[in-house]
Copies of this chain bind each other. A is one copy, B any other.
Amino acid sequence: MWSVGAPPEKITSLQNPRVKQLVKLRDRRPRDEAGVFLVEGYREIRRALEKGVALQEIYFSPEWFLGENEPALIAQAQAAGAVAFELTKDTFAKVAYRERPDGLLAVAPQWKRALDELKLPAAAFLLVVEAIEKPGNLGTILRSADAAGCDAVIVCDPVTDIFNPNVVRASTGVLFSVPLVVEESARVQAWLKEKGVRTVATTPAAEKIYSEVDLRGPLAVVMGSEQYGLSKFWLENCDVPVRIPMAGQADSLNVAMATIITLFEAVRQRAKT
């Protein structure tokens, strides 16, 4: 099985310091202190490796494997510099945060990207999300941005840490492929204005319907938080407020659903230019 590097160290005790550290990394403070985060699952780890993320460690437990491809993925991680550790079934159950673990868990370095590091095309297509609370929603939103071909996602005034395990999970690893910046709303708005990017923000109070507005050219779609919607700052400082017409219950659409509707209307319009 081990074609590359040394055979992995085996961890059998629930008291092993590495096991304890992996459990701690579910919380933000220990994550930030160590400057790393957890990546669990075959698909997520594969995507990290595809994008050249330098995984520091890879933990595995063959008794949890679902398929045949796990050893090759572990070897690939080792070849890229990750240290491998083999865990017993029970030990892995303790470090896994998924309900149905697949026997693979990696530790990746956190990163921080500044607005000015983003390389934007002439007709930039950006998604700005404000103070999203639920990690699952943020992950789903990243998937939508990836599917829609957004050039970047900018997370303003975050309530949820982008390195929360449930963001990684709900994003299915897309976290590694969509350029992501965390920044204050005021700075983001000033930067977009300077770059000539029009901001279209969704709010139920808007007069214009999202699909009746021109969404071509340099564009940032701005979405508010689950509970409070768009902040006063963005309501006052966006270029065009729009709304999504709704037929049913007032709260049928959550923020992730509203995001994907707006992004794909932009995709539709932009394909026509």
Binding site for B on A (CB under 8 A): 47, 140, 143-144, 146-149, 172-174, 177-178, 209, 211, 244-249, 251-254, 257, 260-261, 264-265, 267-268, 271
Contact = CB atoms under 8 A, between A and B. Distances in A.
A6 B268 CA distance: 59
B143 A252 contact: yes
Contact of A249 (B177, B251, B252, B260): B177
Given A245-B271, A265-B268, A251 B172 contact: yes
A226 B32 CA distance: 35
Contact of A253 (B143, B252, B271): B143
Contacts of A245: 267, 271
B257 A149 contact: no
A245 B147 CA distance: 8
Leading 3 A-B pairs by shortest Cβ distance: A149-B247, A146-B248, A147-B252
Chain copies in the assembled complex: 2
Nearest to A211: B268
Nearest to A250: B147
9 contacts: A144-B252, A144-B257, A146-B252, A147-B252, A147-B257, A172-B251, A173-B249, A209-B271, A245-B267
Given A260-B261, A268-B265, A147 B246 contact: yes
A62 to B, nearest CB: 24
Given A260-B260, A260-B261, A261-B261, A147 B267 contact: no
B147 A253 contact: yes
A184 to B, nearest CB: 27
Contacts of A178: 248
B174 A248 contact: yes
A247 B260 CA distance: 13
Nearest to A257: B260
A248 B149 contact: yes
Nearest to A246: B147
Given A265-B268, A268-B211, A147 B260 contact: no
Contacts of A146: 247-249, 252
A268 to B, nearest CB: 5
